[in-house]
Structure 1
Amino acid sequence: MTLSSAAPISPMLAKAVDGVPDPASVPGGLGYEPKWDGFRAIVYFDGETCEIGSRGSKMLTRYFPELEAAFLEQLPAPCVLDGEIVVRTGKAGHERLDWEALSARIHPATSRVLTLSRQTPAAFVAFDLLALGDREYLDEPFSARREALEALAAGLRDPIHLTRSTDSVDTARRWLVEFEGAGLDGVVAKPLAAAYAPGKRLMLKAKHHRTADVVVLGYRLHSSGSGVGSLLLGLYDDDGVLRNVGGASAFSDLRRLELIDELAPLVERDDAGEVVRGETERSRFSAGKDVSFVRLRPTLVAEVRYDQMEGARFRHTAQFFRWRPDRDASSCTFDQLERPIAYDLAEVLA
């Protein structure tokens, strides 16, 4: 097996679509799975040691010792698995995914990591098999990878799980509605005939709302002079340039003050220790406004909700949803955004 954590692979990605697609829309048909709301992870098991790589190829192993122990105990042979790390909370019969509890697992203190591994243990949901023993599956169709994954998963138990799968579009559309109540955020459609394509958006995802992972460029103070009024957001273009795409605001009074402290370590300062400020572009609507902002080192990633794009910017102010500690800022690009299909305005007005 040549795949290893020493040369981590980029996971295959999904492109947003409007609604669960029909299987006839893709040559070879589609398989459907729930879209899990967790940390994407590639598990590398060489028969003796195990590493858990993030979507951006950072190793997450130290943050999830209970999963590492489970992989070492349960996996029957060297393999590479693609899946999602999740945390479940709630009483039996009323469980749901808990993003906040999962995010809290990324902590620098070993003692805290061990405590959280007992208080909010994680689970791993496997949905693809990239290698098993000496056999690599990257060039094989998803249908073959799924069959091999099912055989491997037959001997696994909690906290390692196999994702549900169906070839029925009606079932998938029902999942999209029903599974939201358990904290899942959509359905993924996978071309059954497609090979595994690292870093490529060959899969299709139908979600309950539009979201984007963005880089936090800086913040403006609230008009009251107290706390953060808005966050400035950015995405990388095809040339690797970080572009301002809009902002997120509407924080409570308490949250505005909390954000000042949370963002303080990322504030850029000059050689004299003074805060570095930037300015956004002026428009005819902001000619008399203060468009300056406190610059932050571009390392913090946030997930925001938005309604639509206007050119290369969010048309309206985005809604802050959550921090994404599992995402690298460099992975926040425009190609994750849903691209509306062109439509003739005359048809709308007719």
Structure 2
Amino acid sequence: MPSIAPMLAKAVDAVPESDSVEGGLAYEPKWDGFRAIVTFDGSTVEIGSRGAKPLTRYFPELTDAFARLLTSPCVLDGEIVLRSGEPGNERLDWEALSARIHPAESRIRLLSVETPAMFVAFDLLELDGASLLDTPFGERRSALESFAGELGAPLHVTQLTTDVELARRWLVEFEGAGLDGVVAKPLAAPYSPGKRVMLKIKHHRTADVVVLGYRVHKSGAGVGSLLLGLYDSDGVLRNVGGASAFSDARRLELVDELAPLVAHDESGAVVHGETERSRFSSGKDVSFVRLEPSRVVEVRYDQMEGDRFRHTVQFSRWRPDREATSCTFEQLEVPHLYDLSRVLA
């Protein structure tokens, strides 16, 4: 069962009007999970990811559910997500979802029971052996609703609207349930594997953070990424993530800019540290050059996951006017809680 590369989205600053695209736009919540292409041939299920990493073995509860619930051979495009929290106050749980990618089969089976995942479908690419890739999205969506709309948990069909004002409300409200933004899809567009046809709208925020250190670029020359921190209510400086994506020239400039801040021990040697290892950093160099925590930088970010930035943030500008100790968690915008069950309804 050959895998289809998922269609992608390009970022825009705001939710666009529906008539800004010929044929109009439809809007969906942007789920924060693992993008997945599910292929079912009538008996066997395969789950492919955006990065071509097979996900089938990590989610046995989903493969069992697909084999049980799907009534015809098909190819579905959607997102694997995981929920946590008490009923009436549930949200997406990225950390628990990430933990599902584990090398041990016994651990995978245990987690499939303790923290079961669900699949939110948002496109139907093939049905009964007939490709729908050239079919306009509006028609594919109708086919998806007819085919999968009533299958039941752990399979869900995402909400959709053509009301731009409702989509703008979703952008604000659904973040409280752990969602990532809104996606706008041209109703008349065919499915274009690997191409950025859809539009994604995410939150744009800034924060002033302390530079804790830097990692040397994998090339061995220049700064690969900056390590960033914020002070908690007890005055403890905590690592909250990193900023990267610097040009070759900028990486070298940063080494010189940060040189006066490099920490040295009593012998004059440069002080290094290590960040915590995870299953994703296994085998990678997690060392960094430690800096005196006095330089403040403004960064752009979309959302937090616990006490860390959910994604790598973007460097905006230095803030020489800010004292490092003034950079606290209190400056961060906290979204209002929103029950995930209402998003799935």
Please report the TM-score for the alignment, with normalisation by the length of structure 2. Answer: 0.67
Query: Residues 64-119 of structure 1, C-alpha deviation per residue, up to 9 Å, x if partnerless?
Result: 11000000000011100000000011111111111111011111111111111111
In structure 1, which of residues 271, 277, 281 is the aligned counterpart of residue 252 of structure 2?
281
Whether 1:28 aligns to 2:28 is: no
Shift of 1:57: 1.4
Alpha-carbon distance in 2 for matches of 1:104, 1:67 = 16
In structure 2, which of residues 94, 97, 101 is the aligned counterpart of residue 99 of structure 1?
94
Whether 1:8 aligns to 2:11 is: no
2:45 is matched with 50
Task: Note the 1:204-223 alignment, pairs <5 A.
Answer: 204-209=199-204
The 3 A distance-change label for structure 1 pair 286 and 117 is closer
State, as a whole percentage, how many aligned pairs show the same letter.
57
2:145 is matched with 150
Residue type of the alignment partner of 2:113: R
Alpha-carbon distance in 1 for matches of 2:238, 2:260 = 28
2:214 is matched with 230
In structure 2, which of residues 282, 288, 309 is the aligned counterpart of residue 321 of structure 1?
309
Please report the TM-score for the alignment, with normalisation by the length of structure 1. Answer: 0.66
Whether 1:203 aligns to 2:202 is: no
The 3 A distance-change label for structure 1 pair 288 and 92 is closer
Alpha-carbon distance in 2 for matches of 1:185, 1:145 = 23
Shift of 1:317: 5.5
The 3 A distance-change label for structure 1 pair 60 and 282 is same
In structure 2, which of residues 226, 235, 245 is the aligned counterpart of residue 247 of structure 1?
226
The 3 A distance-change label for structure 1 pair 186 and 323 is closer
In structure 1, which of residues 37, 56, 62 is the aligned counterpart of residue 32 of structure 2?
37
Q: Please identify, of 21-30 and 148-157, the stretch whose mean Cα deviation from structure 2 is larger.
A: 148-157
Alpha-carbon distance in 1 for matches of 2:38, 2:150 = 17
The 3 A distance-change label for structure 1 pair 148 and 245 is farther
The 3 A distance-change label for structure 1 pair 44 and 243 is farther
Number of aligned pairs? 264
Query: Residues 127-161 of structure 1, C-alpha deviation per residue, up to 9 Å, x if partnerless?
Result: 00110012101111101110110111134110000
Please, which runs of 5 or more residues in structure 2 have no aligned partner? Answer: 242-249, 264-269, 275-279, 283-296, 302-307, 315-345
1:131 is matched with 126
Please, which runs of 5 or more residues in structure 1 have no aligned partner? Answer: 212-221, 235-241, 260-278, 302-314, 325-336, 338-350
